[in-house]
Amino acid sequence: MHREKNDPIFRKLKIARGQVDGIIRMLEEDRYCIDVSGQIMAAISLLKKVNAEILHDHMKGCVRKAILEDGGEESLEEVFEIMQKLI
The model's pLDDT over 44-67, given as tens digits with 9 standing for 90+, comes to 999 999 999 999 999 999 999 999
In order of start, what are the domains of the chain with their CATH numbers?
Answer: 8-86 (1.20.58.1000)
Q: Give the rounded distance of the alpha carbon of 37 from its chain centre.
A: 19
SS3 state of residue 84? helix
pLDDT digits (tens, 9 = 90+) for 8-28: 999 999 999 999 999 999 999
Neighbours of 34 (CB within 10 A): 7
CB distance 9 to 50 below 8 Å: yes
> Is residue 1 scored above 70 in pLDDT?
no
Q: Give the pLDDT band (50/70/90) at residue 79.
A: very high
